[in-house]
Each structure stands twice: as C-alpha cells, then as structure tokens.
Chain A
Amino acid sequence: MKIVLDRPRCEGHGLCEEAAPQLMHLDDEGELVLDREEVEGADIALANAAARVCPVAALRVA
C-alpha cells in the first residue's frame, strides 16, 4: 500500500503526525514530509489512521 499526499491541499495541521509519527512529520517549515510512502503490515493501520484524521482530506492510502 502507498500513502498518497495531495500536497497543494495540505495546510500543515499536523494531526497525521500525531496519529502516525513513525511514518510522517512536519519539518521546520511546517511542511509535511512522508518518511515512508510504501507501507505494509501493521503500518497500514497507522497510515489509515493518519489519513482518517486529516481535516482537509489531503492524505489517502491506496
């Protein structure tokens, strides 16, 4: 599975980082960085949780 970020839509609310800090973080500029894009096993649930809490629907797992 792959985490897909709609970058223009991302506003840096950071809720995804709280849900899945192992997979993504906001950098010093407040821009989201996907530390891992390909996920498998238990990480799929984490990635889905991160996508779920994005308030502007900028993340999905495909």
Chain B
Amino acid sequence: MTPPPASDVDLFADDVLVDPYPVHAELRELGPVVHLRRNDVYALTRYDVVRDALADWESFSSASIAFNPMANEALTGTSLASDPPVHTQLRATLTENLSPRALRGLKGQIEAKADALVAELVEKGSFEAIDALARAFPLEVVADLIGFQGHVRDNMLRWGQAAMQVLGPMNQRTAENFPIAGELYGWCSEVKAEDLAEGSVGRGIFDAEARGAIPPDTAGHIIHQYLGAGVDTTIAAIGNIVALFAEHPDQLALVRANPSLVPAAFNEVLRFWPPINTWGRLATKDVDIEGTVVPAGAQVAVLLGAGNRDPRHYENPDAFLVERNPVDHLAFGYGPHGCAGQGLARLEAHAVIEALSRRVERLVAGPEVRVPNNTTRSIEELPVLEVISA
C-alpha cells in the first residue's frame, strides 16, 4: 500500500466553508482519500468510500467526530461520539422519543404550523426567509417538542449554532464559540423535569429516567443532543429549500404539478446542499482504501458533500433536479450513527415544501448572504423580494 495523494487545501478556510464545491471536485479527482497537510487530516472524497466508512465503525471510530481535542473530550460518553457496543444502548435511549414511530402523533401539528407560517408570509408578499421561516419554524417545533420555556427559548439559536461551530479545528470561530456552547452544556447539566413543559417529550425523558427506563443522569445529555444537533442543521436545510426553489422555479413547478415529489425534493436539497459537509472519524488501524493507506490513529474528514456530488454515483451531480430522488444521499450520514433526528427533520422539511409548493407559484429572492461556519453551511440572510402566490 502507498500513501494517498496530498493537498494544501484548507477545509476550514473562510472561502471553502462558504463554497466547498470547487475544492470537493479537486479533491475527488486527486483520489478517494487525500491527505490534507494543512489540516493534518485524511479526507474521504468519493461516494463509495464515504458511505463504506460511515458503515464501518470498527475501522472508523466516532471517538473523534470533531476536529479539536477539547470538543471530542466534551462529547465523550454521548451516543454521537461512542462506538458499539456502548453506542447501541445510548442510541436506543436517544431515539426512544425521536424515532419516526415516536413522532407519528406530531405530523398533523407540524404540518399545521408550517402551513400557517407559510400562509402568513405569502400574505405579506415579501420577507426575510431565514429569520421568518428557516429559524422561526424549527425553533418553535423543537421548543414545543422538548418543552423549553422562558429564557431557554431565547437562547436556542445561539446555543445550537455554537454547539456546531465548536466541532471545527481550534480556530478563532471555535474559540469564540466554546463559552456559548458551555452555557448550553451548563444548562443541560442542571435542567430539571419541572423546567420543561408538562406533556412535552423533554418531560417524558425525565419520567423515563425516574422510572429507571433509561440510566440515571442521562436525561440532560439527551436534551443537550436534541438541541445541539437538531436546531442549526434543520435551520440550514429549510433556508436551503427556500433559496433553491427561488433559484430554480422550474423545479418548484414540478413539485407543484406533482405533490408526491415532496420527499424527493427534500432528498435533492440535502444532496445538493447538505447542512454538514465535513464530519470526523478516527482511524482505529491502518485502513486500505483502494490501495492507499489511512494510517492508524489518523484524524479522518468524511466529506459528505463531496460524496453527494460524485459523478461516479450521481449523473450530472451539479444540477438541482427534484425528480432524481437521491434516497441514498449522504447528508444524514449513514449506518449506526446515521442522523438520529432525520425523522423529525423530514416531518419539518416535508411540511415546509408541501406548504410552499401549494401556496407559491414563484419566489423572487435577492442575493443570499453567507457567513463561514466550521460545521453547518447555512444561509445567514435571504431576502424574498416578491411572492407570486398560487
């Protein structure tokens, strides 16, 4: 086995975070695995190796999902950062209240909320889509689901953003966000059942802890993961839905003509612009990837976004086409660590796409504003200048 090709690309440079796709294409062409000297990571670049690595927890451990040791240390003992067999129980506890079967009862409420919000915005005729929709909707859904009240509701956005920022390498963004992520951590380690609304899923997690259904002192950790992982990413996905439909009116027209395309459209939004492009793993041993070696102990960067645009797997990958229905996209990861909240994300996103495509014929949007973020690629501002309603 030979060492993989090397590159001086910096995955966490401002311009790469804002637009990673040219760099992804360059790295994919160099090889399925590329050593990035400046980040000291081994990047997995092509669809097949990305998916295989996500399934292979024995070779690629989740002990290092973040790109700095402080964040990895803080995540120790969570489902996110553990491997089987420990992971299996933690994951079951985490998903007990989050799996599609647990969420079935919420579908109607979530659809009603999305429709009311979209109807109000269409009525206005112009709006700023990130604050008014992409943030407002998931924040309300998650707050109501977990039962957040008072000051916690006001902090959800900044806490959720910080929890993702601190997964990057130890750059300025990470350093600035550690204190904010610490506020979230502190609150979650002290939260009590009575702090959460009666009848909420959050309260239910405490009830489960009280009756011994989940291990002692795990309720706060679970709530931490719901908030840390489930807010910023869903906000990014919903902002992307609005931006991509505004940019591609022909694709919106296809969904309008055939509402059964709603799930396919969401799959394509996630394939085309995944909220998370880069995720960490740790090589537990020398791993042979198509004749090159990832050395034992190496920090691995799994390039979900590069896999999603791999022409070896998707025809014409740089085109946004709702009818391609890429059900096997990599935006939720895959395998034992596949996004635990994807059922909720689908409920929310499908509700938004369904409401938009029913109520809107065309959106005219101004230029989107993006701010570099270590982990979540999302739109910061998206002015919708005009709504041509259906």
List residues of chain A with CB under 8 Å of any chain B CB: 8-9, 11-15, 18-19, 26, 29-31, 52-53, 55-57
Among B327, B328, B336, the residue within 8 A (CB) of A56 is B336
Q: Provided the pairs A8-B88, A30-B104 are in contact, do residues A15 and B327 lie with their beta carbons within 8 angstroms?
A: yes
**Count the A-B residue pairs with Cβ separation under 8 angstroms: how many?**
46
Beyond A55-B332, A57-B334, A57-B338, whether A13 also contacts B327 by CB under 8 A is no
Interface residues on B, range: 10 to 19
| CB-defined contacts of A18 to chain B, threshold 8 Å | 327
A56 and B338 within 8 A (CB):
yes
Chain A at the B interface: SS class: loop
Q: Is B188 an interface residue (CB 8 A)?
A: no
Instruction: Given A13-B342, A53-B327, A55-B342, check contact A8 B334 (CB 8 Å).
Output: no
In Å, the complex CA distance between A25 and B264 comes to 20
The 10 closest A-B pairs by CB, nearest first: A30-B101, A11-B99, A12-B101, A57-B335, A55-B338, A56-B338, A12-B100, A53-B327, A11-B95, A12-B99
**Chain B hits for A53, CB < 8 A:** 327-328
Q: Could you list 21 examples of A-B contacts with CB < 8 Å?
A: A8-B88, A8-B92, A9-B88, A9-B336, A11-B95, A11-B101, A13-B342, A14-B100, A15-B327, A18-B327, A19-B327, A26-B101, A30-B99, A30-B100, A30-B101, A30-B102, A55-B332, A55-B334, A55-B342, A57-B334, A57-B338
Question: How far, in Å, is B101 (CB) from chain A's closest CB?
Answer: 3
Q: Tell me the B322-358 residues at the A interface (CB within 8 Å).
A: 327-328, 332, 334-336, 338-339, 342-343
Asked if A57 meets B104 with Cβ closer than 8 Å, knowing A8-B88, A11-B343, A52-B328, the reply is no
- List, in ascending order, chain B residues with CB within 8 A of A9's CB: 88, 336
Residues on B facing A (Cβ under 8 Å):
55, 88, 92, 95, 99-102, 104, 327-328, 332, 334-336, 338-339, 342-343
Residues of A within 8 Å of B88, CB to CB, are 8-9
On whether the beta carbons of B101 and A31 are closer than 8 Å, the reply is yes
Q: Which single member of A19, A52, A57 contacts B336 (CB below 8 Å)?
A: A57
A12–B55 alpha-carbon span in the complex (Å): 18
Report chain B residues within 8 Å CB of A55. 332, 334, 338-339, 342
A26, A31, A57: residue with the most chain B Cβ atoms closer than 10 Å: A57
Chain B residues positioned under 8 Å from A13 (CB to CB):
99-100, 342-343
Chain B residue at smallest Cβ distance from A26: B101
Tell me how far the C-beta of B201 lies from the nearest C-beta in chain A, rounded to whole angstroms: 15
